Amino acid sequence: MKEIVVLSGKGGVGKSSITASLGDILAERYALLLADTDVDAPNLHLVLGARRDSFEEIATSEKAVIDDDKCARCMVCAATCRFDAIIGEDKPIVAFYACEGCGACAIACPEQAIEIRHATNGRVNAYSTPLLHVIGGELYIGESSSGRLVDIVKRTARRKAEDIGAKLILTDGPPGIGCPVIASIKGAAFVLIVTEPSPAALHDMARLLEVIGFFKAPAGLVLNKTGRQPRIEKIIQDFADDHGLPILGEIPYDIAMPLAISMAQPVVTAFPDSPPALAIRAIADRLAEAIGP
């Protein structure tokens, strides 16, 4: 089973829309499963117009829980917590969102009144369209442990792929270069980088490339929203050349893309003859060549 992960560094460059369209096209030639590891802001299912079939809550974070009956109100725990997660004047209260589950308060408590317990912090959703299955993670508001949730999403996606006989997992990854990105890259056969012609996107892509280099994963570039900023487009093309990063294609800036998003459909489905849809078809061909049968 092969895994392709789509990353961007900068958010908002069109990564999820392009993943959705690539999913629709690649499903014509591969038994395919889609995954969404952008657990902070999952939206692949939205751009696909997918329906949620089921979900499973997960508990990958840990929080301090105080037993009021054992507590002597000494407030040693509040003085110990370096995250200011224990509040209250004369009765300790754990501020749930601030607690990192480090356990220092439990060690310091003279009454052994504090336990560190697993806490529900997100869910793994299973979605489907008439054509595709999608497994996506969703971190609850204010929660942490996004990297661990990504690991669970990937394991769930692999199990689902085996169940349905899928040979390829195409993953819509998170923006940035942090823990969920690293968790997303692990085990990928190919990383598809999506960027746009802007200095911020180039800057973030350069940082992402360093992370990808650490994993030695083969990568290719898609330049989205082209045709309006030739100077920065040229700079990005030169950057790709200098770094041995093959450009799999360029997608012209076109009204069909935002219109398709507003219709909750991949652009290749909503406007199959539009310039971006034709460009994504050509990119899918090159991607298929890059990953093999």
Binding site for ligand SF4 (CB under 6 A): 64, 66, 71-77, 80-81, 83, 85-86, 92, 94, 99-105, 109, 111, 113-114, 116
Q: How far is the CB of 78 from ligand SF4 (least distance, A)?
A: 7
CA distances from 216 to 158, 213, 252, 271, 292 (A): 22, 5, 30, 36, 18
E strand or H helix at 199, and its extent?
Answer: helix 199-215
Q: Per the structure block, which two tokens stand in for 275? A: 């310039």
Q: How far is the CB of 217 from ligand SF4 (least distance, A)?
A: 35
Nearer to ligand SF4, 115 or 285 (CB): 115
Nearer to ligand SF4, 101 or 187 (CB): 101
Burial 215-246 (b: 16+ CB within 10 A, else e): eebebbbbbbbbeebeebbeebbebbeeeebe
E strand or H helix at 270, and its extent?
Answer: helix 267-270
**Rounded to an integer, what distance in angstroms lies between the CA atom of residue 159 and that of residue 166?**
10
Q: How far is the CB of 65 from ligand SF4 (least distance, A)?
A: 9
Nearer to ligand SF4, 104 or 202 (CB): 104
Nearer to ligand SF4, 16 or 144 (CB): 144
List, in order, residues 6 or more apart from 271 with CB less than 8 Å away: 256, 259, 260, 277
Q: How far is the CB of 60 from ligand SF4 (least distance, A)?
A: 15
Q: How far is the CB of 26 from ligand SF4 (least distance, A)?
A: 44
Nearer to ligand SF4, 12 or 103 (CB): 103
Q: Do 106 and 138 meet the contact criterion of CB atoms below 8 Å apart?
A: no
